[in-house]
Amino acid sequence: MMDPAPRKYSSNLTLWARSARGRAAAPAVQHVSDVEDWLLCDAIKITGMLPLFEEFVWRCVAAGLPLDRASLHLGTLHPLLAGFAWNWNIVDGLCDEVQVVDGALQKDMFLKSPLAVVLRSGQELRLDLTQPGAVEQFAIATDLLALGITEYAALPLGGSGRHNVATIATRRAGGFTVEQFGTINRLVHLLSLHAERHIAARIAENVMTTYLGPDAGAQVLQGSIKRGEGRQIDAVIWISDLRGFTDLSDRLAPKDMLAVLNAYFSVMAGTVTDHGGEVLKFIGDGLLAVFPLDRDFGGRGAANVAVAAAKAALNAELALNLSPPSPLDDILGWRPLRSGIGLHVGGVFFGNIGSAARLDFTVIGQAVNTASRIEGLTKALNAPLLMSAEVAQGLSVPPVSLGTHALRGVGAPVAVFAPR
pLDDT, one tens digit for every residue, the chain (420 residues): 344 445 666 666 666 677 767 777 788 899 999 999 999 999 999 989 999 999 999 999 999 999 999 999 988 888 778 889 999 999 888 899 998 888 877 888 888 889 889 988 889 999 999 887 777 788 888 889 888 999 999 999 875 555 689 999 999 999 999 999 999 999 999 999 999 888 888 888 878 888 877 877 777 777 777 887 888 889 999 999 999 888 888 899 999 999 999 999 999 999 999 999 999 989 888 999 999 999 888 889 999 999 999 999 999 999 999 999 888 888 888 989 999 999 999 999 888 888 877 888 888 889 999 999 999 999 999 999 999 999 999 999 999 999 999 888 787 889 999 998
Under a CB-based contact definition with an 8 Å cutoff, are residues 74 and 162 in contact? Answer: yes
Q: What pTM, to 2 d.p., does this model score?
A: 0.74
pLDDT for res 1: 35
- Widest CA span in the chain: 85
**What distance in Å separates the CA atoms of residue 316 and residue 216, rounded to the nearest whole number?**
26
Within 13 Å and on the Cβ side, how many CA atoms surround 336?
11
**What distance in Å separates the CA atoms of residue 211 and residue 277, rounded to the nearest whole number?**
15
Burial class, 109, CB count within 10 angstroms (exposed 0-12 / middle 13-18 / buried 19+): middle
Helix (H) or strand (E) holding 253, with range, is: none
Residue 72's CB is within 10 A of a number of other CB atoms, namely 26
**Would you say the C-alpha torsion 341, 342, 348, 353 has a positive or negative sign?**
negative
**What distance in Å separates the CA atoms of residue 143 and residue 247, rounded to the nearest whole number?**
58
